[in-house]
Amino acid sequence: MADVALLNVTKRWGGFVAVRDQSLAIRDGEFMVLLGPSGCGKTTTMRMIAGLEEPTSGDILIGGQRVNDLPPRDRDIAMVFQSYGLYPHMTVGDNIGYPLKLRGIKGAERDAQIKAAAAKVELGDLLHRKPRELSGGQRQRVALARAIVRRPTVFLMDEPLSNLDAKLRVSTRAEIKHLQHELGVTTVYVTHDQIEAMTLAHRVAVMNQGEIRQLDTPEVIYDRPADLFVAGFIGSPPMNLVTGHHGDGVFTAPGGFRFTTRVGHHAGPAVLGVRPEDVTVAPAGGGDLDASIYAVELTGDAVLVTVMAGEARLIAKADRAWRAEIGSTVALRLDATRLHLFDAATTRRLNPEAPR
């Protein structure tokens, strides 16, 4: 096993900067997720760790060794791709065992390692099949087993669940998390899906425009987003954000917004954030402000209520039995202990404490 470190790493192509002066320390045995939208630099970061891209400047260390000049085959890593990368003419067993073949491992030892890796991903009965005979989830597990059989010091996974349907993503996600816990291998996982990041990671590096905007545990990132980008990117539905003015510990905005905050030092344009689960829908006149219902969506376990309060559109999460007509008036109550405040100019968080 090994830790991974990026020290002031930059990657540019001509005038385009994909990764900007990035430093990141990934602990031995940690499951680190690089999360962000397309083009944020997360895949480029992983490819530099793998040796598939060369950093323009900075150093990459694996197990304390500088690997900038080492080819991928000498970095003791294993990659799992979105596209599986299986050989269609080979059986499942031969695909899993291909890294062993390259190392010259043959006979009973090779067969034993293939079976052991296949057993970890529950493919023991499918070793004689071809990839075309497998489901998408089974093919992804073949790719995982092929990575396992190499016994690397670092796993690199590039959006491995993107080609799976919703049901398979959930089950395969659980398999990946259990497998990483069982093997204890340092893992770098790239995704644009914040649900994957929140459920899989020990820590998440939220990236945008080639920079890490926040690096912390999923709980801290959700409860205390560092800036407006993280606040809007993490959460499903995302955090409600209302632009207004803050002064003397009070936030105001058109539409009846007036809330006391715990921030006494900021005066000027600000953005108030509140998550949908911290907004309660009540009968008209019985809350902090009145609003008109814009849409009602039953998700199964809850009802998402979209309302218009002045010019602001907010989403509240109500009990699954809650019902109301579009266009009717309701009141909203915002949990004052769970409000987030951001500087509208810098986009940075103003209230340092985590909501309770």
- pLDDT above 80 for 86: yes
For residues 288-309, average pLDDT: 93
**Domains detected in the chain:** 4-228 (3.40.50.300), 241-343 (2.40.50.140)
- pLDDT above 80 for 354: no
DSSP class per residue in 202-243: SEEEEEETTEEEEEE-HHHHHHS-SBHHHHHHSTTTTPEEEE
Distance CA 62, CA 50 (A): 10
Please, which residues have CB within 8 angstroms of residue 133's CB and are 6 or more apart in sequence? none
Q: What is the pLDDT of residue 106?
A: 86
Task: For the chain, give the mean pLDDT.
Answer: 91
For residues 78-98, average pLDDT: 87
Cis previous bond, 218, omega within 30: no
pLDDT band at 275 (very low <50, low <70, confident <90, very high): very high
pLDDT band at 137 (very low <50, low <70, confident <90, very high): confident
Q: What is the pLDDT of residue 353?
A: 66
Q: What is the pLDDT of residue 294?
A: 96
Answer with the residue of higher pLDDT: 5 or 323.
Answer: 5
Q: Which is it for strands 57-62 and 65-66: parallel, antiparallel or unpaired?
A: antiparallel
DSSP H helices in 90-165: 92-102, 107-120, 136-149
- pLDDT above 80 for 352: no
Positive or negative, the CA dihedral 129, 133, 134, 136 is positive
Answer with the residue of higher pLDDT: 152 or 242.
Answer: 242
- pLDDT above 60 for 355: no
For residues 42 and 207, is the Cβ–Cβ distance under 8 A? Answer: yes
Q: What is the pLDDT of residue 226?
A: 96
pLDDT band at 286 (very low <50, low <70, confident <90, very high): confident
pTM over 0.85: yes
For residues 46-73, average pLDDT: 95
- Helix/strand number for the chain, H first, E second: 8, 20
Per residue in 199-247, pLDDT (tens digit) is: 999 999 999 999 999 999 999 999 999 999 999 999 989 999 999 999 9
For residues 245-258, average pLDDT: 90
- pLDDT above 90 for 161: no
